[in-house]
Amino acid sequence: MGIFNRSKNTTATVAPAAVTPAATVQGPDLAHLTGDYTIDATHSKIGFAVRHAMVTNVRGEFTEYEGKLHLDGANPAASTAELVIKVASIHTNQAQRDEHLRTGDFFEAEAFPEITFKSTSAEQINGDTYRLHGDLTIKATTRPVVLDLEFTGAATDVYGANRVGFEGGTTIDRTSWGLTYNAALETGGVLIGEKVKLALDISAVRAS
């Protein structure tokens, strides 16, 4: 989010990786990307996947959110990002499940209507990949998370807007944010996995 300035595809993970010392990081001159950007929710996706019944994944997304980025192409460590997600917009392609997720068993959307992320630092791992550290708040609980990210492109669209794109993600333990609901299976194990994979596919427009 504050450091997305490469134009290659990526598969993000949360596995630790050695950070290349800043003095040896190589990459093109991206100073022209420096500026403030707004996330375009109509061309972006914030998705998730969680294990169901020990055998498969339930996938979903949040459809309403807003965010802003400050990119510093010359000094990626100075980049920042903020994101606000509307909990009630959760969508898993099954209305009854979505309603359950909005209740006190899970997100308690009426009492805690927003999920927020605010970056605390940024790193350039190498010429192609970046790491964004930040605070994720769900149900009034704030914990640190790390997003591994990479640019997917930068261009001027047909309407003259300057855009940047990136993909990335992380894996979190939902119970760390108080999302502890579960049910035991007759065959052993539990209905819902604790690990949640988060995936971001973001297009952001530079402020005029």
Q: Is residue 91 part of a domain?
A: yes
Domain of 88, in residue numbers: 22-206
Q: Is residue 118 part of a domain?
A: yes
Q: Is residue 181 part of a domain?
A: yes
- Model confidence over 28-80: pLDDT tens digits? 567 889 999 999 999 999 999 999 998 999 999 999 999 999 999 889 999 99
Q: Is residue 67 part of a domain?
A: yes
Q: Is residue 6 part of a domain?
A: no
We report the CATH number of the domain holding residue 198 as 2.40.128.110
Q: Specify the pLDDT at position 73.
A: 86
Q: Is residue 10 part of a domain?
A: no
Q: Is residue 17 part of a domain?
A: no
Q: Is residue 148 part of a domain?
A: yes
- Model confidence over 185-200: pLDDT tens digits? 998 999 999 999 999 9
- Which of 123, 149, 120 is CA-nearest to residue 136? 120
- Model confidence over 156-188: pLDDT tens digits? 999 999 999 999 999 999 999 999 999 999 989
Q: Could you tell me the pTM of the whole model?
A: 0.84
User: What is the rounded average pLDDT of the residues 103-111?
Assistant: 97
Domain count, the chain: 1
The residues, ordered by sequence, that sit 6+ positions from 185 with a Cβ below 8 Å of its Cβ are 53, 54, 191
Helix segments in the chain, DSSP class H: 95-102
Q: Specify the pLDDT at position 17.
A: 43
